[in-house]
Amino acid sequence: MGHPTRTVRPVRLRLRSKSRPFEEHLHPRDGRGRFAHGPGAGLNPLLERIRAAAGRPSRAPRSEPHFDEEQHGLVFRDGQSERVAKAYKANVVEGITRDLRDMPDETLLLESDRVWLDKVRSGEAHAYEDHATGIANSVRPGDSPADASWTRVDADRVRELLRRDAVNQVVATWAMTSNDEDPGALALQETARDAFGLHPAADWPSTDQIARETAGQRAALGTGHAAILTAMWERTQNHLAEAQLGSLTVWRGVATPDGRPPAGWTADGSTLSDPLLRPLSAFSLDPDVAHGFATDEGPGFVMSAIVPAERVIATPATGLGCLDESEVVILAGPGTWHWQTAE
């Protein structure tokens, strides 16, 4: 018995020409390699670890904690001189840049930097390195550099300097301010909040102009900032694990008109429950530093807790933070805190 004849319809493929390579990092996949959609879908294992870590609660000590010299020495093991602080930051920037060596330029660099890098590659522009600042400067072919000490560098060196500067900008932004009205700092906070799932977290006052500038910063740098913060968290965890520290006792000074926690916070005696923190919140391992911040503009209060090491995203030795203030940066999350008025 013969088979009926079937008409095979021709298949027409419509192809779109693309002017740039496919950006895999912008299209996360699930565990089976399929494109994933929805909150948290397709997260890489490291990002999943950070999100889980942010949910680990802090714990209020039973009594007022005291300065732990041994813990302080393990976290800040090289002292607090200006020379050491500069060495810390240089090592941080170099280390994170190295950790991100496989990250494409499209993720880490501004479009304007990538355009200039292409011009250096093609010979349309020349580049000179200022060794005092570690910055590459553009010079038109035939012109002399502005400083005779600058040296001509090739495109590979320019790329290295641009990528290092992208990391340095994140560290330098935090050194100036962690939020206030700075669009760069606010963009970093928003990136951490959304990338690491830090909800709920404290909000901050803003204006339409600041909101627009912050959105512009996120559009240009958000993916790169998320990668930098992720690498920073991993370096911090390795640092604390080597020191065999499973938790840190931290303090933060808060200036208030009456020396008490804000009205919206839940306080039961000397215990605070789940106070809203900034996505990236600065604390100190030194209670005297926190007390100084609390009383800088009048009465305030100091909050303290034992925080799981996994909630610590940075120390001055691994990322953000001021060495002279014994600063550590923690991720917003749940838990209880001890508080007392600082006068």
In tens digits, what is the pLDDT along the chain, a chain of 343 residues?
555 555 555 555 444 455 555 555 444 444 444 444 444 444 578 888 999 999 999 999 877 788 888 888 888 765 555 556 667 788 899 999 999 999 999 999 999 999 999 999 999 999 999 998 889 999 999 899 999 999 999 999 999 999 999 999 999 999 887 777 889 999 999 999 999 999 999 988 889 999 999 999 999 999 999 999 999 999 999 999 999 999 999 999 998 888 899 888 888 889 999 999 999 999 999 999 999 999 987 789 999 999 999 999 999 889 999 888 999 999 999 999 999 998 7
pLDDT of residue 201: 92
Is residue 57 reached through a cis peptide bond, with omega within 30 degrees of 0 on the bond before it?
no
Both tokens assigned to 289: 């530093």
pLDDT of residue 83: 55
pLDDT of residue 28: 46
* 157-193 CB burial, b ≥16 within 10 A, e <16: ebbebbbbbbbbbbbebbeeebbeebbbbbbbbbbbb
Q: Residue 306 — left, alpha, or beta (φ > 0 → left; ψ -120 to 50 → alpha)?
A: beta
pLDDT of residue 46: 84
Both tokens assigned to 195: 């990338």
pLDDT of residue 329: 96
Q: Is 27 helix (H, G, I), strand (E, B) or coil?
A: coil
Question: Which CA distances in Å does 314 have to 222, 233, 317?
Answer: 18, 6, 8
> How far is Cα 44 from Cα 47, in angstroms, rounded to an integer?
5
pTM score of the predicted model = 0.83
